[in-house]
Structure 1
């Protein structure tokens, strides 16, 4: 018997290994030599280009996976332990029944208790190992040079995606290069395995990977072998745009705004993408022939994500009221005339708070009086069917709102299993690129005409008026941040945006507000309430803690992020 001490940097799921050993568990050498019968061997994969390509495609399945990876839980929808979205770690929403989100919103995250956010380190390094394996052996596979280049580009994109996920969550990361570790390696003297590179070096490495990927990948999916959902040149450049935008931001301070603007401009100049004009709410329900989508994850009947409609629908419709919008987000939506609800002359009426708002509000949030599935959402008390007085009252929203975005009203709420859950998860879309450009160019050169053009395209598509001329750089910065907040709501941007701007100690220390609606003599009264008590943010939370198990498995050689102990 030999005892093997492992962590995810040492060993990330070999395709042909039949046993996963945990720290301190003894593993039989003979057992490891048994040929598994439940999977394809590496020898078979390296001898067959079709199998090898399937291996590469399967690496997409792990991108932005969760700790339910073994159960196939997808990204975005069902982002965490079960059904919680990443938005429910921010000032966008809260998860009604916790789902291991509340401890993060309350600032209680720790290396021993990472809640919904504890999966990035392990899953990312497992994925990197799998990708390195493929890159190290691709020259052994009989295939055309063109196919080899394409698959190499996909693998480099996947590796860059993994590292970017690590960087944006932990800051400094371990760069393992092309190395592939297995159970026979001696890790006792490999201290370099635990050295975390600087943020600047990490970003430079990912940038190089993306440049190489972009040079190898096709521009579009014209070939039948390149279905939607696989990386293209545009996907690589879009990830580079986001990477360099983050790099230039105050939290990272590891890049230039002009480089970030150019990276976004490179995507724009492909002239491959444009804003979808079929309605803001339908962007997320239209996976095919949608010119706005740059990179997405697709689902089909039999391979679905969580059933969004029942997971988030109002309790009056037998929904579970999962990710419920906060009043903090509701208050952020401008009036239809482009003025904040607090601005003089906005026309905002507290007695009718949902009238004449930014059209994206109606496509994103269900509120008291909202039309829904041929009926109306009623969250008022007493008696509102979507309040605590309605059916399934344990699923009643604590915020007074329900999620509308992503929901497909043509899919069933009751008994949706195997039918619902086929909406695509969009990683990159063109509106983000325009907003990336507007932000970076404004920071680099001020609010020039190109900044106005980029942001006004997004506003015009939404049905909002153009920004007023003559804004200062600071005023434009505020406008761009607003646009990102509402245009990209619930798409996993807000969590990272408020951190990279270093404003999370403001936004995340605001109470988690909701609304209480009462009805007396036919008149609705709206009262602000605290929906989740104890919301709190500390500066250490700009980065996630590395899980304690990883630190211990490295014999405490792996450096923990500041504020979380050793």
Structure 2
């Protein structure tokens, strides 16, 4: 499905950058040529609307080489995905990810995780600027009401990123700090308790949800906030709020019940449903029945070239985000049984008769890809160290398939716009949120079974067995999240909020070595793909970058143990 692009509004949005207007200009009167002035924005409703829309695109920070990178795939961190900070994958050529997986994260050395604080607060300031000046713009009351709701949604989304990465955050209200302000007074750098942060964001979402459209009537509006997006964000935050990391390890049935009700509110809209094809869900150019909120890359010139970044070396790819054996082994057999290397039949043919989502997510030895089978075996495998560009050979024996469009080129992709969307919220997550919260609140009733079984049925997997107790259902739900949401930036936060990262992230980062005999038989050996994987208690939260602490004149309190 193609999207009709409204070039006027999006090109205007791309032109508008962050504006600083507080300085007196009596000593220097220069008209910038690389940005649109605040006077122009506030005197032109079209420009002001473009300014608001550009807030969805995010703050485009640069990497250490000065090259700009988009959020979404890579999240502004070059080509390394957030999955490569977990037990889902490792990044083939580091890309500032290994130090985090090896437990070397520090305020002075944040790797790819260092952009959240600055990017989020810059975006919040931009939103507050617009909210504080929207009444100066000539626009209909209905138009202002909608834009205000959208701006508050964007701000809430930014606070979500801050809270789930740092825990306690600074709630700045509607303030717009200006050059020359005295930051030594008041509570400008005072971090609020986690509960206060979540309550603030949830109250914002409750206030704006009625003012947001149920759905968009034109394709060029895709990517802007809706009522469903606000309710989905609320569902996620309340699920986090009820989780052990956020409650100090206690289980509060009321909090879980509130999270279940928040997910039910999205379900009760009757607007979303599971898309029939799991693999194609991530390749559709427009919205699907499952998409609640997404970044649509074909409405922007910015895109990470997923195919060359993650493709096997034998095809000219760079390897990129490499699935770990830890994840591969967690995919069930097609009949719902657990895979085990101790089972001779499974060990002899480890990639046969697995959960269908495995084949849509991971490229393995023998997988069909771009007209031939992937060859990670040695000797002689085209996608092994014996193949071309062997410095890009997978360290795990696997390559990423999820999100990858085989119709797009691997070699020389520059100038070819990618079409994959980054889905922030989809209906399957809401069903999983509901099932987890409901099970924790009152146990596995039929509604919990229905939510999980609908996801498994879409995937082509058998239903859950009847008679599970609460603990057994908890394990099943956590497993389903691991498989269904793989590589979608959930695993990192899930193992932390469940307080199990000290177990999962201290397991060896495993891969597979496959040897092919003269007779064509394969021998499989588990290997360590990345040495020194380590997780310690302080890593449940990110450290605030040292430069931010120093910029506050040490008034900003650092997270514990850093």
Query: 1:339, CA displacement in angstroms?
Result: 1.4
Q: Does the Cα contact within 8 Å between 2:194 and 2:246 map onto a contact in 1?
A: yes
The correspondence of residues 426-437 of structure 1 with structure 2, limited to 5 A, is 426-437=423-434
TM normalised by structure 1 equals 0.92
1:210 aligns to what? 205
Q: Measure, in 2, the Cα distance between the counterparts of 1:501 and 1:432.
A: 16
2:149 aligns to what? 153
SS in 1 for 2:349: coil
Query: 1:190, CA displacement in angstroms?
Result: 2.2
Q: Measure, in 2, the Cα distance between the counterparts of 1:519 and 1:527.
A: 12
For residues 307-351 of structure 1, give each alpha carbon's deviation from its aligned partner in whole angstroms, at most 9, with x where no partner exists.
10010000000000000000000011001111111499x896111
1:550 aligns to what? 548
Q: Measure, in 1, the Cα distance between the counterparts of 2:356 and 2:94.
A: 30
Q: Does the Cα contact within 8 Å between 1:75 and 1:425 map onto a contact in 2?
A: no
1:93 aligns to what? 89
TM normalised by structure 2 equals 0.93
Q: Measure, in 1, the Cα distance between the counterparts of 2:214 and 2:299.
A: 28
1:110 aligns to what? 106
Q: Measure, in 2, the Cα distance between the counterparts of 1:31 and 1:301.
A: 41
Deviates more, 1:30-39 or 1:233-242: 30-39
SS in 2 for 1:264: helix
2:33 aligns to what? 37
Which of 188, 192, 198 in structure 1 is aligned with 2:193?
Answer: 198
Which of 160, 163, 167 in structure 2 is aligned with 1:164?
Answer: 160
The correspondence of residues 59-74 of structure 1 with structure 2, limited to 5 A, is 59-62=55-58, 67-68=62-63, 72-74=68-70
For residues 187-241 of structure 1, give each alpha carbon's deviation from its aligned partner in whole angstroms, at most 9, with x where no partner exists.
2x324111000000000000011112212100000157x6111110000000111
1:269 aligns to what? 268
Q: Measure, in 1, the Cα distance between the counterparts of 2:257 and 2:299.
A: 44
Distance 1:66 1:439, change over 3 A: farther
2:233 aligns to what? 239
Q: Measure, in 2, the Cα distance between the counterparts of 1:230 and 1:139.
A: 21
Q: Does the Cα contact within 8 Å between 2:444 and 2:468 map onto a contact in 1?
A: yes
Does residue 540 (structure 1) correspond to residue 535 (structure 2)? The answer is: no
Q: Which runs of 5 or more residues in structure 2 are unaligned?
A: 1-15
Which of 210, 213, 220 in structure 1 is aligned with 2:215?
Answer: 220
Measured on the aligned residues, the alpha-carbon RMSD in Å equals 2.1
SS in 2 for 1:419: coil
Q: Does the Cα contact within 8 Å between 2:340 and 2:346 map onto a contact in 1?
A: no
SS in 2 for 1:251: helix
Does residue 177 (structure 1) correspond to residue 173 (structure 2)? The answer is: yes
Query: 1:163, CA displacement in angstroms?
Result: 0.5
For residues 458-499 of structure 1, give each alpha carbon's deviation from its aligned partner in whole angstroms, at most 9, with x where no partner exists.
000000011011101001000100110010000000000000
1:253 aligns to what? 247
For residues 384-411 of structure 1, give each alpha carbon's deviation from its aligned partner in whole angstroms, at most 9, with x where no partner exists.
0000000000000000000000000111
2:20 aligns to what? 17
For residues 479-525 of structure 1, give each alpha carbon's deviation from its aligned partner in whole angstroms, at most 9, with x where no partner exists.
10011001000000000000000000000000000000001131100
SS in 1 for 2:492: helix
SS in 2 for 1:246: helix
Q: Does the Cα contact within 8 Å between 1:17 and 1:32 map onto a contact in 2?
A: no
Which of 481, 502, 505 in structure 1 is aligned with 2:502?
Answer: 505
Does residue 413 (structure 1) correspond to residue 410 (structure 2)? The answer is: yes
Q: Does the Cα contact within 8 Å between 1:435 and 1:455 map onto a contact in 2?
A: yes
2:321 aligns to what? 323
1:9 aligns to what? none
The correspondence of residues 273-422 of structure 1 with structure 2, limited to 5 A, is 273-277=272-276, 279-300=277-298, 303-342=301-340, 349-422=346-419
For residues 511-545 of structure 1, give each alpha carbon's deviation from its aligned partner in whole angstroms, at most 9, with x where no partner exists.
00000000113110000000000000001000000
Query: 1:68, CA displacement in angstroms?
Result: 4.3
Q: Measure, in 2, the Cα distance between the counterparts of 1:71 and 1:528.
A: 37
Q: Measure, in 2, the Cα distance between the counterparts of 1:287 and 1:385.
A: 31
Distance 1:66 1:339, change over 3 A: farther
SS in 1 for 2:510: strand
Q: Measure, in 2, the Cα distance between the counterparts of 1:328 and 1:282.
A: 25
Deviates more, 1:46-55 or 1:443-452: 46-55
Aligned positions, number: 540
Query: 1:48, CA displacement in angstroms?
Result: 1.6
Distance 1:121 1:490, change over 3 A: same
Q: Does the Cα contact within 8 Å between 1:511 and 1:535 map onto a contact in 2?
A: yes
Q: Which runs of 5 or more residues in structure 1 are unaligned?
A: 1-12, 20-26
SS in 1 for 2:425: strand
